[in-house]
Structure 1
């Protein structure tokens, strides 16, 4: 096995669940862990973030951390929750009641599967509650009392002894987070991928997700020390807030309980550095950088670009600020290099991987907002032929406006169930706002305090930037297609040229993104 084989260990394909064996090595602290470590009495926390943002890894690490202190903690997945008794026509109240029973049964079944440490009476309580359909109210009452009784508090601990492989800075940050909640008893339940209890794209199924959240709150309120964290994809939470069906008005009651899973390029870079360092430690010594054992040069050029950039930067800017994207991109490059018999990843491998990778993430983001805008994929493809300026995939506000206007004139676009009108500026700005919110278009502004002289506005901090009333502000912004999607657009440009024989304006990629 060459060095790339060692790299694949720390950059595997798949999801966080497949990384349990290396999680205590690769985990990098994020502020969200500090907040979800101890949910308040009587309420769950909702951990909301994009697919691949690290929600599952955070839950799995926290479960492991709690287990190291003998604090009971479980991760419950949708497959553990019996939904067979829930019909499509059921009211939210009926589903809420059935989910309460199913959740308690799932908790009971998980505990009963590990029979160590329980008395015969306790095992009887667990086994009686396993079958939600047959268990009586008294069975669930006894189970709730039992869960409250076995809750334990967090204590101050020497994390270096419990997790010796953790990054030192992460050890320190986690110890600080523990110190803030020392003494609070809890039985912790982490519900991951919650939206999978339903088909959010099917009419009425959002009510299932909502009923589950309400059932979780019911159990937290009626069972002392039972502490829940529920993970949701951002687009599903946004649908719950905006969908007109069901009791959407109640989402306001949960706003203070939402923990947004914000990631940044800096955080993705730290994750990348940590995994590279771990992989490099398994190879021969003498390399100047942890990237050197795996890459043939210190830097490379992106497809169709003349600018050389460090490998870390090339990967990070294409991650969409999602750790999973960065891990998958390195995995794909290492796998292809091994397949082609190369000892290291080189620029040619990067150029070969990026078009397909870019197409994949373009399809993913279109799928994520398919219910809000079924034509999202077609709109993304249309941006291959926008009127870009000479410094990359960059548009002035006027050029971006013209692009959306052209798209509306060519394509029937539906947004949140409403057909957009070609002649409506309000509709145009609504569509623009969506593509800004999902990160397809980045808002770049001048900033003399930054090394490169510019910065990017975050949709989370500037959600109302795109509107007719702020047109003057919008004209001060350059609108860039995110780097993760550019190689897919380049492939579409090349395809169009082959099909028509017509030349198109090629963006020169000299900007830093």
Structure 2
């Protein structure tokens, strides 16, 4: 439902989805996702010939979306992407207390799944007319090879692949004909249902060891594994064998500028306009204003630090450098615009969305980290500013000493605990709040407030060390910590730098 000319917008659900996209970008129409996706350095690294990468990041940063775009490009280049999700590994028998046996079970189980999916992909090619002559010749040769090695056709092997041994499959993978093609295996969302239990940790740890072995055994097999950051740390800090894969970790992180460019691309593709992504990435943010004006009011007609600010600075100040945050915020504002029959998203539409947006961020954070810290929602809500902090005039903003003191007070009235048995102190709570992006480090610049996230500076994960920064509760959560006066938030929250 893309437009080729500018016209007054009606922000119904179809229009909102067409402009801003799906909150879960992996559920987006693949062609549209490919058109507006911004390819960062991480994307290029994932495209490289390195055998193994672990893609680690918080929920909402776009791990599954990146995998979906990568797999499409693999197909375009006549290679074979294989996406493995939780339902695909249910039949792998890993019910053993022997860790080495569990690794072997994962290797054999994954090998068979990869083999099955490869056969399926080739069989689908056989059913279609292959226009690429080189590819057609390769498929014909593979059919002959499969029949000679296994004595069965591909269609028959699809139903009997479980009978094959790991050594038979490995030998097939190493055949010179097969090695002409790159097979990239994407293991995505395998942390679904994660409980942070000893069994969960051992299972995923064994899986990572198995993947590492497979990536070394076969030259044309590449593995890309998507993991939530909390899951990765649980495994990394519980199993010493994972130090061998630490060098294969890529943190999926975005700058606000890259996320804004993605929004610009979404708007431009909606209106059928052309653009150069490289030019957009090098542009100043204020150059995007004419494009944003097609959808948003030009300036934020609010109060305090936000008065007359460009709309993009307001948007960027409220997101946690996660694309999903921006989609959520714009979607909520678009729905308010629809109810008010506005043809652009106005200041009032955004303001009405802040409470729901903030509540959703708090709920999502609680769901994401409760397996590590079961009372995380209670902890976040108890960070609400006290009367004392309100009287001083800088609530939700702390020096290191002030933050530690507040957490001493909060924890003294609660029975907090970490699932892994780590002691609960003001320092460990501070490190935890920083890791989950509830607290950000901050410094003042000439362009505004620079908010520094854990993904960018991980030096305070194990101990909340003083590096001369102040700290603040991220603006995305402020409306969920009921202030005495909503309008006071605009006086308290300073806008992020451009």
TM-score w.r.t. the length of structure 2 is 0.80
**Partner of residue 220, structure 2:** 225
In the TM superposition, residue 392 of structure 1 has moved relative to its aligned partner by 5.9
2:491 matches 1:508? yes
Aligned match for 2:472, one of 475, 480, 501: 480
Listed one character per residue, the Cα deviations across residues 388-430 of structure 1 (whole Å, up to 9, x for unaligned) are: 5425632233332221111011111213533746xxxxx2112
How many residues are matched? Answer: 448
Q: CA deviation at 1:85?
A: 3.1
* Residue in 1 that maps onto 2:427: 429
Aligned to 2:75: 67
Does the Cα contact within 8 Å between 1:102 and 1:132 map onto a contact in 2?
A: no
The equivalent residue for 1:16 is 25
Q: Is 1:257 aligned to residue 251 of structure 2?
A: no
What is the match of residue 292 of structure 1?
Answer: 293
1:488 is displaced (CA, Å) by 1.0
**Offset of residue 303 of structure 1:** 9.1
Give me the whole-angstrom Cα distance separating, in 2, the residues matched to 1:205 and 1:466.
22
d(CA) in 2 for partners of 1:217 and 1:149? Answer: 23
Cα shift at 1:9: 1.0
- Per the TM alignment, residue 305 of structure 1 is displaced from its structure 2 partner at its CA by 6.9
Structure 1 position 277 matched with structure 2 position 265: no
Range with greater deviation from structure 2 (103-112 or 229-238): 103-112
Rounded to whole Å, the distance in 1 between the matches of 2:474 and 2:366 is 14
* Residue number in structure 1 paired with 2:40: 30
Measured in 2, the distance between the counterparts of 1:80 and 1:408 equals: 42
When residues 130 and 98 of structure 1 are mapped into structure 2, their CA distance, relative to the original with a 3 A threshold, is farther
Deviation at 1:511, TM superposition (A): 2.0
Q: For residue 304 of structure 1, report the CA deviation from its aligned partner.
A: 8.7
Deviates more, 1:135-144 or 1:399-408: 135-144
Matching of residues 99-110 of structure 1 within 5 Å: 99-110=106-117
Q: CA deviation at 1:39?
A: 4.0
Deviation string, structure 1 residues 65-113 (Cα, Å, up to 9, x no partner): 22222122222222222336333x5433333222223322322332333
- In 2, distance between residues paired with 1:302 and 1:435? 30
- Deviating beyond 6 angstroms after TM superposition, the runs of 4 or more aligned structure 1 residues are 302-305, 466-469
Aligned to 1:186: 182
Q: 2:60 aligns with which of 52, 58, 71?
A: 52
CA contact (8 A) 2:85 2:188 kept: yes
Deviation of 1:315 (Å): 2.1
Q: Is contact 1:104-1:129 (8 Å) kept?
A: no
Kept in 2: contact 1:318–1:484 (CA 8 A): yes
Q: Give the SS at the match of 2:54.
A: strand
Structure 1 residue aligned with 2:232: 237
Q: Confirm or deny: 8 A CA contact 2:431 2:464 kept in the other structure.
A: no
Distance in structure 1 (CA, Å) of the matches to 2:401 and 2:229: 30
Q: After TM superposition, give the deviation of residue 32 of structure 1 in Å.
A: 0.7
User: Which runs of 5 or more structure 2 residues have no equivalent in the other structure?
Assistant: 2-8, 127-138, 274-287
Q: CA RMSD in A?
A: 3.3
Cα distance in 2 between the residues matched to 1:465 and 1:237: 17
Structure 1 unmatched runs, 5+? 153-184, 422-426, 496-504
Equivalent residues of 1:6, 1:279 under 8 A apart: no
Alpha carbons 2:61, 2:322 under 8 Å: kept? yes
